[in-house]
């Protein structure tokens, strides 16, 4: 039986924790498979992806920044969620062809602690790239009506009938002070010191960056409840594994200990 090959592809994937997570599960469940990483430059993306997909031992891929949309033209069949979000973070090779999925949206939902009456809460999303759109899609799927989005450049907001655009960071003080959940999807902390002081102590703060665990953004809120990036990474990985092998793997203490040692 041949070794099934899996990779995470994107920028800086040599630093990704995905190989650690999946190789741990492969060993735990005695699966003859190996998970690695491939770093791709924008100029070579189509050539590199075609080469990967032609590899007969390749069974699946995870896609990270900045290729979650560019990968879509290499996919034969798109999962409905991937179509709506317009981004793919998981691929499975099958007899039907290359199938693309998006598990980021449900991964964030699973990472979020239980919030009573979620649909009545005020959400503020900072940044509006691929991961932000998936998170926005999760809240829309839960019938959350009050969602504000801030971004450096003006971007049209998806998933809503009325045409609306993202706000700039300077104009969101009112949204910051009333938000119940704030999610930072940018690589840095986009808020000023004055804006940080507007955040309520009861607000849940969240960052999708997983290393360091306490990011420049999360560090500003020592007493707030937090959703860490590593939690989203794990919860989006679980459905990827199920797509490939048909069952959910467990996140046990040993795996968490291994990951915590890798995170500064």
Shared domain for 207 and 113, answered yes or no, is yes
The b/e string for 6-42 (b: 16+ C-beta within 10 A; e otherwise) is bbbbbeebeebbbbebbbbbbeeeebebebbbeebee
| DSSP string for 183-232 | EE-SSS--S-HHHHHTS-TT-EEEES--SSSS-TTGGG-TTS-EE-HHHH
Instruction: Choose among 113, 126, 124: nearest CA to 227.
Output: 113
pLDDT band, very low/low/confident/very high, at 122 (cuts 50, 70, 90): very high
Is 121 in the same domain as 196?
Answer: yes
Please, what's the b/e burial string for 172-185 (b: 16 or more CB within 10 A of its CB; e: otherwise)? beebbeebbbbbbb
Confidence of residue 129 (pLDDT cuts 50, 70, 90): confident
Q: Is residue 259 part of a domain?
A: no
Residues 200-214 pLDDT 10s: 999 999 999 999 999
Tell me what pLDDT residue 44 has.
78
Question: What was the pLDDT predicted at 126?
Answer: 98
* 123 domain-assigned: yes
| Residue 56: domain span | 4-102
Give yes or no for residue 66 having a pLDDT over 90: no
- How many distinct structural domains can be found in the chain? 2
- 115 and 189 assigned to the same domain: yes
Which residues are catalytically annotated? 68
What residues pair up with 206 in beta bridges, in sequence order?
Answer: 183, 227
pLDDT of residue 22: 98
Both 138 and 96 in a single domain?
Answer: no
Asked if 251 contacts 13 with a C-beta cutoff of 8 angstroms, the reply is no
Could you tell me if 117 and 182 lie in one domain?
yes
Residues 6+ apart with CB under 8 A from 205: 181, 182, 184, 199, 217, 218, 221, 224, 225, 226, 227
Pair 52, 85 in one domain: yes
The contacts of residue 202 (CB under 8 Å, 6+ apart) are 180, 224
**DSSP-derived secondary structure letter, 142:** T
Rounded to the nearest integer, the mean pLDDT of the chain is 94
Of 51, 67, 102, which residue constitutes the final position of a domain? 102
Instruction: Give 91-116 pLDDT, tens digit per residue.
Output: 999 999 999 999 999 999 999 999 99
pTM: 0.92
Q: Which residue has the higher pLDDT, 162 or 119?
A: 119
> Which long-range contacts link 223-228 to residues 24+ away (Cβ below 8 Å)?
224/199, 225/113, 227/111, 227/112, 227/113, 227/183, 228/111
Q: Are residues 10 and 96 in the same domain?
A: yes
Type and span of the H or E element at 131:
helix 130-141
Average pLDDT for 149-169: 93
Shared-domain flag, residues 151 and 213: yes
- Reading the block at residue 176, the tokens are 């910051």
Confirm whether 233 is domain-assigned. no
* Within-domain flag for 264: no
Residue 90 is encoded by which pair of tokens?
Answer: 């998981």
pLDDT for the residue numbered 193: 96
Distance, CA of 247 to CA of 62 (rounded, Å)? 17
Confidence (pLDDT) at 42: 76
Q: pLDDT by residue (tens digit) across 175-207?
A: 999 999 999 999 899 999 999 999 999 999 999
Collapse the DSSP code of 233 into the 3-class scheme (helix H, G, I; strand E, B; otherwise coil) and give the result. helix
Q: What average pLDDT does range 71-84 have in this prediction?
A: 95
CATH code of residue 61: 3.40.50.10860
Whether residue 69 is contained in a domain is answered as: yes
Place of tokens 């960052």: 207
pLDDT of residue 48: 87
Same domain, yes or no, for 167 and 72? no
52 and 165 belong to one structural domain: no
Phi/psi for 156 (5° steps) reads -75, 135
> Residue 140: which CATH number?
3.40.50.720
pLDDT of 233 strictly over 80: yes
Would you say residue 2 has pLDDT above 90? no
Residue 27 included in any domain: yes
Do 23 and 97 reside in the same domain of the chain?
Answer: yes
What confidence score (pLDDT) does residue 161 get?
A: 85
User: 234 in a domain, yes or no?
Assistant: no
Q: In this structure, are 115 and 53 located in the same domain?
A: no
């Amino acid at each position: 039986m041949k070794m099934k090959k899996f990779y995470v592809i994107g920028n800086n994937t040599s630093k990704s924790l995905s190989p650690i997570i999946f190789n741990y599960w492969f060993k735990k469940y005695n699966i003859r498979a190996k998970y690695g990483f491939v770093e791709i430059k924008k100029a070579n993306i189509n050539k590199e992806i075609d080469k990967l997909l032609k590899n007969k031992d390749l069974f699946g891929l995870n896609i990270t920044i900045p290729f979650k949309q560019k990968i879509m033209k290499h996919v034969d069949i798109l999962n409905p969620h991937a179509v709506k979000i317009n981004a793919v973070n998981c691929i499975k090779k099958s007899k039907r062809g290359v199938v693309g999925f998006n598990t980021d949206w449900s991964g964030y939902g699973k990472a979020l602690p239980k919030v009573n009456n979620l649909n009545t809460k005020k959400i503020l999303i900072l940044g509006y790239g691929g991961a932000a759109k998936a998170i926005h899609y999760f809240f829309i799927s839960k019938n959350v009506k009050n969602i504000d989005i801030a971004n450096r450049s003006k971007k049209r907001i998806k998933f809503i009938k009325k045409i609306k655009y993202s706000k700039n960071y300077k104009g969101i003080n009112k949204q910051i002070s009333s938000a119940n959940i704030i999610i930072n999807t940018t690589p840095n902390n986009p808020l000023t010191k004055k804006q940080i002081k507007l955040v309520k102590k009861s607000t849940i703060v969240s960052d999708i960056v997983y290393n360091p665990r306490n990011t420049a953004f999360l560090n500003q809120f020592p007493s707030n409840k937090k959703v860490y990036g590593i939690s989203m990474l794990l919860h989006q990985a679980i459905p990827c594994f199920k797509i490939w092998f048909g069952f959910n793997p467990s996140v046990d203490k040993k795996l968490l200990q291994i990951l915590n040692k890798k995170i500064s």
